[in-house]
Amino acid sequence: MGDMVIVNCTVVDGRAADGVGPIRDAAVLVRGERIAAVGPSEDVLAQAGDTRRLDLGGAHLTPGLVNMHTHLSLSLPGPAGEGVKGMGPHDLALYMADGARRTLRCGVTTVRCVAEKDHADFALRRAIESGRAAGPRIFTAGRALVCTGGHGHDGTDTLECDGPDEFRRGVRGQIKAGADLIKVMISGGIAGEHERIDTPQLFTDEMAAVLATAHAWGRKVTAHAGPAAVIAEAVRLGLDCVEHGYELTPEVAAAMAERGTALVPTLLVTRCKAFFDELGVPEWMQRRSLGAGPRHLESYAMALAAGVPVLLGSDMPPFWLFEGTNATVRELEHMSQAGLGPAGALHAGTLGPARWLGAEADLGTVETGRYADLIAMDADPLADTSAFRSVRWVMKGGEVVRDDLAGRPEA
């Protein structure tokens, strides 16, 4: 796309929760993939010279969203899921590439994949990085580690392990393939017919082996986990992040906050009947999921009260059209409405994830030196998180990938 200066916008980013206010009548100078300057228009334009200008028509400009719980090869129980499971490697790669393209267009410029089939995520990441496919920046765990018969064991997006030695080997295998982090299933969940949400699935020595090995290689560990007792033990051993956290207690939430263990609550997964119906998800799973909803929301409230870092993650495909928007925005709305508020939600969807990923020097804010991963919307996300429903312009790495108003080049 070449260098450009973005004008006629209000810049808002994840530092709002830290007291950094919006920049009104702002401009952003983009050179190559990165932001070269940002500030009041008069100051930035003086640096920009005759650089091409792009008028956003008074939009609010924020960093692109970061979805920390994605499965581009998701296959839940039911006919739709069986269709994905039955795909050959070529079909699967194209299916995931289409999902990545849709994800980027809805304003999610970075994802954290937490279990993908057949290591196709690594091929997709290479294709996106080389420009052969359109999609968000990908941080991935590769295949999730499970015990024999554990949560998600029946898919090629998991690797069955038993005993500390096998779990160590599993961690090393994912790192060898190129994993940025490790995902481990330490309890049952809503999608396993022969388990309960509160079923413990790893012994202490197995969990300790995963954590010690991953940390020795400089990788964080996130865990699919529901019950408080299982989470408490993992947090004590050094767990970096909890996925779901369906049944927290105030005591466990306090321990998470003290140790800096983040929570990706995925509130959508216990309040998405229309999505389940669309996929033909069986009744047993719908009952378990929707029945867990009230307790799930209580757990989330406990985490907020304790000061646990909470991060955006939809579990549903990020781009999926759901309740008048996409799954990523709907999840962020739930997080905001259930106590986080608009400024906190903006942080949870941008700077918070970037910090967890160790990528805050590149992502998460609209600052000089960061990647020009930007989205624009007409409404103010600090007034109402539903502003993200009005995203109409998306840039990734200095390239405009969506422009509903055809750019409005300034005269």
- Give the type of residue at 170: G
> Are 31 and 172 in a shared domain?
no
pLDDT at 372: 98
183 closest CA partner among 217, 157, 216: 157
> What was the pLDDT predicted at 411?
34
Instruction: Answer for the pair 241, 356: CB distance below 8 angstroms, yes or no.
Output: yes
Together in a domain, 111 and 230:
yes
pLDDT of residue 360: 97
First to last CA, the chain: 18
Asked if 58 and 85 sit in the same domain, the reply is: no
Cβ atoms within 10 Å, residue 76: 21
Residue 26 forms part of a structural domain: yes
Residue 206 and residue 331 in one domain: yes
- Per the structure, the count of domains in the chain is 2
Residue 171 sits in the same domain as residue 109 = yes
Structural domain boundaries enclosing 388: 4-64+365-403
Q: Which strands make up the sheet holding 137-140, listed edge to edge?
A: 65-70, 108-113, 137-140
Asked if residue 397 and residue 255 are part of one domain, the reply reads: no
Shared domain for 263 and 315, answered yes or no, is yes
Task: For residues 73 and 181, give the distance between their C-alpha atoms in angstroms, rounded to a whole number.
Answer: 18
H-helix or E-strand spanning residue 128: helix 120-129
Quote the tokens at residue 157: 């997006």
pLDDT at 21: 85
Backbone angles phi, psi at 201, to 5 degrees: -130, -5
Q: State whether 335 and 189 are in the same domain.
A: yes
Q: Is residue 331 part of a domain?
A: yes
Answer yes or no: do 393 and 345 share one domain: no
Q: Which two tokens stand for residue 299?
A: 């757990």
The Cα-based distances of 18 to 9, 10, 380, 387 in angstroms read: 21, 18, 18, 20
How far is it, in rounded angstroms, from Cα 303 to Cα 338?
11
pLDDT in tens, the chain (411 residues): 679 999 999 999 988 767 788 999 999 999 999 999 999 999 999 999 899 999 999 999 999 999 999 999 999 999 999 999 999 999 999 999 999 999 999 999 999 999 999 999 999 999 999 999 999 999 999 999 999 998 878 889 999 999 999 999 999 999 999 999 999 999 988 777 777 888 889 999 999 999 999 999 999 999 999 999 999 999 999 999 999 999 999 999 999 999 999 999 999 999 999 999 999 999 999 999 899 999 999 999 999 999 999 999 999 999 999 999 999 999 999 999 999 999 999 999 999 999 999 999 999 999 999 999 999 999 999 999 999 999 999 999 999 999 998 645 443
Indicate whether 337 and 388 sit together in one domain.
no
Distance between CA 366 and CA 380 in Å, rounded?
16
Do 59 and 71 reside in the same domain of the chain?
A: no
The answer to whether residue 411 sits within a structural domain is no
- The whole-number pLDDT of residue 117 equals 96
CATH of the domain at 341: 3.20.20.140
Specify the pTM: 0.95
Q: Are 188 and 196 in contact (CB under 8 A)?
A: yes
Residue 243 lies in a domain: yes
